[in-house]
């Protein structure tokens, strides 16, 4: 192992799905900074192109893809256009914050269709490509909600827990073919998905106080974990769930005892 180059991604192709904003955009820029050519995929092509422009302005290599991960045929078409895929980062998800008993059939289906079914389709198709190559690293964004919940998070939490189990299963099935599969569990991150909370000062501050670091994360604070799992630095890491949550799941946080 050449320790000075263990994070070097030169010559590798990364497909980042959800690269148009938030964590996906930060991940795409971070992977490019370490040498990867990044295919920036997003449902909103204009947003993906903005990310590409940012990467290129910093001397990196990237191109944009219009991709709906809920469409298996579209995923296969996108993969055909790439020579190879060494790294996959999957970030998109949606949430419906409502009491369990008030969630409609349509709302349930909408969350499941993207968060769980879409992730399954993406992992299945990219997994086939990487298995044929004999090499690859798949990184899926789960959430602290895979482990701990609160009122209003039932379907979202179920999908995030389900994603972790898919990651573990795929890791077990593709390990012999040189493919590693891992998940990252962020805590509270300032992204479009959490705008509802940020717009409520009391809610926003309560979440900040829950974590050990007493603040929210920025999207670029997820990049270190992404690059680590993408690179040779994590060559013996697979089937894992890496928490990047500011200590949210490590401490109760509801009451500080008078010690």
Positions marked catalytic: 156
**CA separation for the pair 212, 250 (Å, rounded):** 8
The DSSP string of 197-218 is: HHTSHHHHHHHHHHSTT-SPBP
The answer to whether 210 and 250 are in contact (CB under 8 A) is no
The answer to whether 166 and 120 are in contact (CB under 8 A) is yes
The H or E element spanning position 15 is: strand 13-17
**CA separation for the pair 82, 190 (Å, rounded):** 31
Task: Look at the block and give the residue holding tokens 């008078």.
Answer: 258
Which strands sit side by side in the sheet containing 37-42, from one edge to the other?
61-66, 37-42, 13-17, 87-90, 136-141, 179-186, 241-244
The answer to whether 229 and 237 are in contact (CB under 8 A) is yes
**CA separation for the pair 187, 211 (Å, rounded):** 8
Cα four-point dihedral sign 125, 72, 220, 150: negative
């Amino acid at each position: 192992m050449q320790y000075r180059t263990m994070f070097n991604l030169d010559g590798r192709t990364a497909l980042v799905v959800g690269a148009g904003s938030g964590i996906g955009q930060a991940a795409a820029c971070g992977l490019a900074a370490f040498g990867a050519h990044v295919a920036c995929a997003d449902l909103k092509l204009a947003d993906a192109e903005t990310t590409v422009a940012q990467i290129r302005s910093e001397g990196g290599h990237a191109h944009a893809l219009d991709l709906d991960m809920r469409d298996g045929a579209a995923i296969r078409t996108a993969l055909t256009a790439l020579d190879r895929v060494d790294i996959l980062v999957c970030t998109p998800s949606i949430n419906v914050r409502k009491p369990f008993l008030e969630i409609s059939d349509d709302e349930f289906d909408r969350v499941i269709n993207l968060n769980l079914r879409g992730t399954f389709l993406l992992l299945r198709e990219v997994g086939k490509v990487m298995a044929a190559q004999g090499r690859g690293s798949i990184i899926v964004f789960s959430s602290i909600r895979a482990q701990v919940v609160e009122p209003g998070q039932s379907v979202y939490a179920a999908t995030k827990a389900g994603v972790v189990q898919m990651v573990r299963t795929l890791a077990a099935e593709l390990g012999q073919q040189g493919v590693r599969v891992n998940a990252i569990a962020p805590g509270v991150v300032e992204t479009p998905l959490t705008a509802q909370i940020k717009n409520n000062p009391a809610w926003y501050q309560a979440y900040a106080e829950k974590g050990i670091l007493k603040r929210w994360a920025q999207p670029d604070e997820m990049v270190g974990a992404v690059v680590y799992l993408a690179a040779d630095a994590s060559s013996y890491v697979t089937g894992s769930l890496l928490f990047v949550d500011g200590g949210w799941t490590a401490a109760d946080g509801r009451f500080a005892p008078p010690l």
